[in-house]
Amino acid sequence: MATEARPEKYITTFQQLMEEGRKNGYRLDWLLPRETFGARLDSTPEAGGLLLQDIDRGPFAEIPDWSDNMTGRPRGSLTRANAARVGNYSVRTKADIWLKNASQLYEEAVQRQWSSAVDVPWETMEELPDDIERAECQLATFLTEVEFVAGDVPGKWISETTPDYYEPRMFLISQIMDEARHMDVFRKRAFANGGGLMSQTTNVALSGGAIDSARDFTEMSARLHISGEGLVLSIFRMGERMSYNEAEKAIYRLAASDESRHVAFGVMHLQYLSQTDPKRKEEIHSYLDEIEMGLVAGTGGQNPAQRGTPSNAALAILLGGGSDPASMMEGEQIALAVRQRQVKEYVQRVKVAGLGERFENGRANATLAAYVSA
């Protein structure tokens, strides 16, 4: 068992206790206080209760730049020499996954849980024109499909990350929960109003396959959180414009609230990485090069507004109010505005992440500027 300095005032007491126990045949060699013992945490309901970001002190708050924890022990716990190396964690470098506010994002996620069963006013749905209902159901089918990406891929990385970095793991777990609810709520929307599921995305590459393939967490996070979820968030924020009842408005509003946390995670992780491991910036820029190609070509995975897809056509119908040519032309114009908004928000996120120089030095895809100024 590892040892460490302990408060003097406790040593005598515990030695006496251990002696007493040993006389009765107990081992009790673990009954030793850590150096923080006796220092009580304050928690008040007014301050939000006992929050994850406020609890770790002393050795428990020491987040190693590189983790040698292969046994899955909680950060700061004492080690056993005979514990098996079951972890096999590939993410053991802090900069590869860390961000400054993962605990806060996790606690916020816990507080903002909602239920698709009872928090969406399903009773407000009334029969819609057939083309509108089909467009709603096509969009819902697409979103159901891509939400699997955002749940399953973070799951893989949780199991690959040392528990010494438990804060980002906790956030990613909350994301899995959020994405399950999104998958569920859009499936419910498809069945709630006399429709059904419609067509699968034509190819896995268009529904986020590249996110699965990433072999580095930051690469995955850039594709998932910055690109994929950022694009979806822009759509959700436009939800009021393509909703035909209060139920749909509630769905988009609630989902956007979750999605904004996921995007924030990606932005804050990139920011941390760019600040602490600048030698990786060029590599990250190369990921952004790829993302921007997808963005301007309208082929970015997870983007319902990507051109030539059923979900894009569904958006045009919903935004224009019908499938007749005049309505669709109008819807296409609004969809273009959606894409402009997606680009503008992407640019802002990259700037906040500390990688905004690409928009000054000519590295960014030139077509982005056309979207921003159009």
Partner 1 sequence: MVQQQNQQASVRRDLDGNLVPELPDLSWMDKTLGWGIKARVEPFGGGMTVDALNVGVYAEVPDHIPFRNRLPRGAYPAPGAGSIGGYYLQDKHEQWADCAGLLYEEAISRRWSTATDIPWDTACGLPDDVELAICQLATELSQHASVETEVISGWLQNLSPGYHEVKLFLSTATYDSARMFEGYRKRAMINGGGMMLESPGGMNRAIMETYAGWSQTVLGMWFIRNALDTTILRYLAAYGPTEADRTLAARLIPDRMRAAAYATDHIRFAISKKPELPIGFQVWLNGVEFAQARDLRDPVLTESLAIIFGRGVAGMDAGMQIVRRLLQDFVKTYLSRCKQANLDRSKSLTGPFQMLLAGAAAPPRPQA
Footprint (CB under 8 A) of partner 1, residues 211-250: 212-213
Which three-class secondary structure state does DSSP give residue 261? helix
- 272, 286 in Cβ contact below 8 A? no
Which member of 62, 65, 66, 115 binds partner 1 (CB under 8 A)? 115
Q: Does 3 bind partner 1 (CB under 8 A)?
A: no
Q: Taking the C-alpha atoms of 97, 100, 104 and 106 in order, what is their torsion angle to the nearest 10 degrees? A: 0
Q: Which one, 23 or 279, has the nearer CB to partner 1? A: 23
Q: Is 287 in the site for partner 1 (CB under 8 A)?
A: no
94: CB partners within 8 A, 6+ apart? 63, 64, 65, 66, 67, 165, 276
Is 57 a binding residue for partner 1 by CB under 8 A? The answer is: yes
**Cα 58 to Cα 69: distance, rounded to the nearest angstrom:** 18
Q: How many CA atoms lie within 13 A of 189 on its CB side?
A: 33
User: Rounded to the nearest whole angstrom, what is the least distance from the CB of residue 308 to partner 1 in the complex?
Assistant: 7
| 360: Cβ contacts below 8 Å, ≥ 6 apart | none
Tell me if 364 contacts partner 1 by CB under 8 A: no
Q: Site for partner 1 (CB under 8 A): how many residues? A: 139
Q: Least Å distance between CB 174 and partner 1?
A: 7
β-sheet bridge partners, residue 161: 91
Region near partner 1 per CB under 8 A, out of 93-101, 119-127, 218-226, 234-242:
119-127
SS3 of 112, please?
coil
> Does the protein bind partner 1 through residue 41 (CB under 8 A)?
yes
- Taking CB under 8 A as the criterion, the residue among 6, 63, 64, 72 binding partner 1 is 72
Would you count residue 105 as binding partner 1 (CB under 8 A)?
no
Rounded CA-CA distance 24/17 in Å is 11
The first and second tokens of residue 232, run together, are: 């979806």
Candidate ranges 199-207, 225-233, 263-271, 346-354; the one touching partner 1 (CB under 8 A): 199-207
Stretch binding partner 1 (CB under 8 A), from 94-102, 166-174, 249-257, 284-292: 166-174
Residue 163 as a binder of partner 1 (CB under 8 A): the answer is: yes
CB of 10 to partner 1, least distance (A): 7
Contact between 86 and 61 (Cβ < 8 Å)? no
Phi, psi dihedral angles at 23 (to 5 degrees): -60, -30
Binding flag, residue 158, partner 1 (CB under 8 A) = yes
- By CB under 8 A, residue 104 contacts partner 1: no
Site membership for partner 1, residue 322 (CB under 8 A): no
> Which residues lie across from 91 on neighbouring strands?
161
